[in-house]
Amino acid sequence: GAVVSQHPSRVICKSGTSVKIECRSLDFQATTMFWYRQFPKKSLMLMATSNEGSKATYEQGVEKDKFLINHASLTLSTLTVTSAHPEDSSFYICSATGPLSTDTQYFGPGTRLTVL
């Protein structure tokens, strides 16, 4: 149980375009989803916390207009990187918590974004 999927696993886009990444909880309802960013050989940095039906809470230094997060249902959250630039290239990982285990996060497999 507690499987989280991400789509796509890899995406290459041109500078200036927008890219949407989906995060789905497959076998549980995720009350909260989190989005992280990870640079090569570095740890995960929290970008934002999203609760179903409400606006996401962004960490300091993360541009909310650039990284649009939508959590429209209890099983789906999306991250849209708008007007992508090469410096946005990174590994983006989502995680989800269920209603019964708020301390445990289940991570998706990640999405490798490359902006040319």
Partner 1 sequence: TQLLEQSPQFLSIQEGENLTVYCNSSSVFSSLQWYRQEPGEGPVLLVTVVTGGEVKKLKRLTFQFGDARKDSSLHITAAQPGDTGLYLCAGARRNSGYALNFGKGTSLLVTP
Rule CB under 8 A: which residues touch partner 1?
A: 4, 6, 32, 34, 41-46, 49, 57, 91, 93, 95, 97, 102-110, 112
- Start-to-end C-alpha separation, the chain: 37
**Which regions of 44-109 does DSSP assign to beta strands (E)?**
44-51, 57-58, 67-73, 76-81, 90-97, 106-107
Rounded Cα gap, residues 91 and 83, in angstroms: 17
CB of 43 to partner 1, least distance (A): 5
Q: Which residue type does 55 have?
A: K
Helix (H) or strand (E) holding 38: strand 32-38
Residue 12 or 15: which CB sits closer to partner 1? 12
CB of 17 to partner 1, least distance (A): 23
CB of 16 to partner 1, least distance (A): 26
Residue 26 or 44: which CB sits closer to partner 1? 44
Residue 57 or 89: which CB sits closer to partner 1? 57
Q: Contact 35/58 with Cβ under 8 angstroms?
A: no
Residue 44 or 76: which CB sits closer to partner 1? 44
CB of 51 to partner 1, least distance (A): 8
